Amino acid sequence: MARFEDQLAAVEAQGSDAQGNDISSNGGEGFTRRGFLIGTMAGSAMMAFGLSGAAAAASDGSANNGSASESLAAGRYEPTIWYAIAPDGTVTVHITKAEMGQHVATSLARLVAEELEADWSSIEVVYVDSDPKWGYMVTGGSWSVHHSYLPLSRAGAAGRIALIEAGAKLLDVDPADCRARHGQVISGDKSVSYGEIVSQAGLERTFSEEELKEISLKPASERRVLGTKGTALDVPAKVNGEAIYGIDVTVDKMLYARPVLPPTRFGSKPVSIDDSAAKQIDGYRQTIELDDPSGVCQGWLAVIADSYSSAMRATDALKVEWQRGDSYDISEADIQEQGHTLVNSPSRDNGSLFVDIGDVSSGLEGASEVIDSTYTTSSVLHFQLEPVNATVFEEDGHWHVHCGNQQQTLAVGMLSKALQVDKSNITLHQYYLGGGFGRRLYGDYTIPAALAAKALGRPVKMLFTRPDDTRFDCVRSPSVQRLRSGLDGNGKVVASEHAAAAGWPSAAMAPAFLIEPVEDGGKVDSFAISGADHWYDVGAQRVWAQQNHKAHEVFVPGYLRSVGPGWTTWAVEQHIDELALAAGKDPARFRLELLNAEGRNAGQAPHSVGGAERLRAVLERAMAKADWDSRDSLPDDVGMGVALTFGQERSMPTWVACIARVKINRGDGSVDVEHLTAVADAGTLAHPDGAMAQLEGSLLWGLSMALYEGTEVEKGKPKALNLGAYTPLRMNQVPKMDLEFVDSDAMPVGLGEPGTTVVAPAIANAIQHAVGVRLRDMPMRAEALKAAL
């Protein structure tokens, strides 16, 4: 499928995102035409360069022409500034990604520090506010380290080169006789610190785009930062209470607000509002109806008060009569019924082709046996620890929005439409996120706060309660999938067809990101089908992505950690097991037979070098660690199952094998996951401690969604609104885990998503091995297993 850079190029070609905002990008993995500039101003050396893939033009549309000194003298040294070195040697790295517990700033700063040869103790990070100069700002898809690796590493290397040249002049030596270590330029027994160079040398060096691409990064054997252990930079502040989240923001003369949500996301209107009871609550001021030109807040009200507790109680006391939207009558069953219809007769009328290789129809017709299976998943909620919130005010014609957000560029565009002001008059100030998981990729929650602030002419802080947040969550769409694969007389797969139906997040939020992976196959949301383009050799192959419009009538389908692969891997990896059983073969060894690093599965440098061979390697290692050969001698009602994943995208694969050992309680149908063994090949690990935390957390969330999470759409909203009815994994349900990363110096890839996708099918396959029952609906409820037994 197309890489994110290609999607951005498509956005550039269309000229706007879902909100009609201009988005510029060079669409490649290189650098902007402005190149890389190093200079001095106000006692600091600034390093600036174009952003990989998501790079945007300067806010004034100008190019960086002329010498560094001319740019600095003219005050134009602003675009795409990534790090600065102060006279005291402090290196400040500017972070455009959202910090939501994944320690992304630590990983990105390590990329710079490695090639810059900075002293790690001198590193500081700053989370920047929204500004066109940073390019398209988004944190999701496991993209952050992968997409930043080359540009940040080359930026660090270019800075090192310039500092060595300037340091050599101060030392009166040949640059060829110098080396950089720990924030110093060294020649023999002489040295000069980066801070001293900044203070004394007057750096001036320009790197063209071509020169940057020709910079050779250090070989893995010479790395001193990447791959080493170390505490994450954000941990101290989160431990001692200094960390500031969006929910912590306060400003002078601020009023508090709570949204009053209509019965349906679309088409509702308030008919009458009775706030007589609310007026009895101290601190209550008024209830306002929000007029939203962007169409996000359809029928929303906002209760305004002097404190949040007053706003919360007044909202509960409010009596509103509503005209409901049509989606009030749509249920989860209705959405799934439409999904079944779509996958049984897939066509371009409701979606597109995602993969089309060979003659699938003939292959299935000529097969000795066809395995035909249908799988479903329920609506899944985010339930991030910090409910969504925003604080907004206007000052001198400029709007300031304070919150945590994962896709600032999209949010600013939405706010521009809602407030009816130019994007240049809006700044989104970024804070730590108390969990994101994809919910904050959509900035809808900033709109009612902004509209309330505009109506009142006062700063407004709007907080959603957890049920408020849940009611209008951008849920991971329920899905239906049908897979049909044919086996020949020797048990070899000769053809496979996969059709998946679900709501499409990008179609709802940013349709310019839809792609056409198959010529004349129609546009598709890769976030609703990635994972179906797997690395197995199954002969002729066809994959359909079908958009379930019924889901879009009820809610905004959202991005939830892993999105499409969260349901496609669920189906693919169970279906592979079913094929193995039909062929009379061991499921793990059957997979090994299908992992041939040939043709499209050979992989490409640098992103997927090695291809299916690397997936084979992690499977073999996992089999050894889990003692797979003991599988046939396990006690009664105990089983082992295997599943593989490549994470979020074929163009950025993270190779993971997972083996689950489960014990089934026949009395109540409950599943005790005793042990998870996982082996991952994520290439170079920028921050190994953070990588392990990501893998652990994603596997546990995958387990949570496999057995416990999931709800239903009922009367226009999720049936479960709080953590009493929605029951994620509890601490006493955490299994023993044996996790390992393959030692690799390949290009780093993503770690936020992969683990979430691989656990559920491994558990399902283990359940089948233990008691002979195949559960095809996720979550796998105890009552369903008990009924099957």
pLDDT category at 724 given cuts 50, 70, 90 is very high
pLDDT category at 217 given cuts 50, 70, 90 is very high
The strand pair at 389-395 and 460-463 is best described as: antiparallel
Residue 22 has pLDDT above 50, yes or no: no
- Distance in angstroms (rounded) separating the CA atoms of residues 431 and 408: 12
Nearest to 754 by CA among 629, 484, 573: 573
Residue 70 has pLDDT above 80, yes or no: no
Q: Are residues 266 and 294 in the same domain?
A: yes
For residue range 398-415, what is the model confidence (pLDDT) as tens digits? 999 999 999 999 999 999
- Distance in angstroms (rounded) separating the CA atoms of residues 629 and 588: 10
Q: Are residues 608 and 671 in the same domain?
A: yes
* Residue 8 belongs to a domain: no
| Structure token digits, residue 465 | 């309660």
Q: Give the three-state DSSP class for 48.
A: strand
For residue range 732-752, what is the model confidence (pLDDT) as tens digits? 999 999 999 999 999 999 999
Q: Are residues 314 and 224 in the same domain?
A: no
Q: Are residues 368 and 479 in the same domain?
A: yes
pLDDT at 7: 57
Q: Are residues 369 and 277 in the same domain?
A: no
Residue 74 has pLDDT above 50, yes or no: no
Residue 58 has pLDDT above 80, yes or no: no
- Distance in angstroms (rounded) separating the CA atoms of residues 33 and 277: 62
pLDDT at 71: 34
pLDDT category at 5 given cuts 50, 70, 90 is low
Residue 648 has pLDDT above 90, yes or no: no
Judge contact between 158 and 49, C-beta under 8 A: yes
- Distance in angstroms (rounded) separating the CA atoms of residues 682 and 653: 8
Q: Are residues 318 and 226 in the same domain?
A: no
Q: How many CA atoms lie within 13 A of 203 on its CB side?
A: 35
> Could you give the maximum distance between any two Cα atoms of the chain, in Å?
83
pLDDT at 148: 95
Q: How many CB atoms lie within 10 A of CB 343?
A: 23
Q: Are residues 339 and 396 in the same domain?
A: no
The CATH number of residue 149's host domain is 3.30.365.10
Amino acid (one-letter) located at 456: L
Q: Are residues 267 and 362 in the same domain?
A: no
Q: Are residues 163 and 220 in the same domain?
A: yes
* Residue 648 belongs to a domain: yes
Q: What is the 3-state secondary structure (H, E, C) of 617-633?
A: HHHHHHHHHHCHHHHHH
Q: Give the three-state DSSP class for 788.
A: helix
Q: Look up the domain containing 393 and give its range.
A: 246-326+388-463
Judge contact between 408 and 380, C-beta under 8 A: no
* Residue 71 belongs to a domain: yes
Helix (H) or strand (E) holding 205: strand 205-207
Q: Considering the chain, what is the average pLDDT of its residues? A: 90
Least confident of 39-53, 146-160, 672-686: 39-53
For residue range 123-140, what is the model confidence (pLDDT) as tens digits? 999 999 999 988 999 999
For residue range 452-479, what is the model confidence (pLDDT) as tens digits? 999 999 999 999 999 999 999 999 999 9
Average pLDDT of the residues in 688-702: 97
* Residue 740 belongs to a domain: yes
More confident: 704 or 65: 704
For residue range 527-552, what is the model confidence (pLDDT) as tens digits? 999 999 999 999 999 999 999 999 99
pLDDT at 19: 38
Q: How many domains does the chain have?
A: 3
pLDDT at 200: 85
Q: Are residues 345 and 434 in the same domain?
A: no
pLDDT category at 20 given cuts 50, 70, 90 is very low
Judge contact between 608 and 653, C-beta under 8 A: yes
* Residue 2 belongs to a domain: no
Judge contact between 481 and 320, C-beta under 8 A: no
- Distance in angstroms (rounded) separating the CA atoms of residues 289 and 271: 11
* Residue 26 belongs to a domain: no
For residue range 512-528, what is the model confidence (pLDDT) as tens digits? 999 999 999 999 999 99
- Distance in angstroms (rounded) separating the CA atoms of residues 682 and 645: 12
Instruction: Measure Cα distances from 631 to 369, 623, 641, 661 in Å.
Output: 27, 10, 9, 9
Q: Are residues 318 and 341 in the same domain?
A: no
| Structure token digits, residue 490 | 């020797």
pLDDT at 202: 72
For residue range 593-618, what is the model confidence (pLDDT) as tens digits? 999 999 999 999 999 999 999 999 99
Q: Are residues 519 and 410 in the same domain?
A: no
Which of 208, 238, 268 is where one domain is finished?
238
pLDDT category at 82 given cuts 50, 70, 90 is confident
User: E-strand spans in 367-468?
Assistant: 369-377, 389-395, 398-403, 426-430, 460-463
pLDDT at 209: 80
pLDDT category at 30 given cuts 50, 70, 90 is very low
- Distance in angstroms (rounded) separating the CA atoms of residues 777 and 779: 6
pLDDT at 87: 87
pLDDT at 6: 55
Residue 485 pairs in a beta bridge with 371, 496
Share of the chain above pLDDT 90, in %: 85
Q: How remote is the C-alpha of 344 from its chain's centroid?
A: 30
For residue range 582-593, what is the model confidence (pLDDT) as tens digits? 999 999 999 999
Q: Give the three-state DSSP class for 352.
A: strand
- What's the burial of 697, exposed, middle or buried (CB within 10 Å: 0-12/13-18/19+)? middle
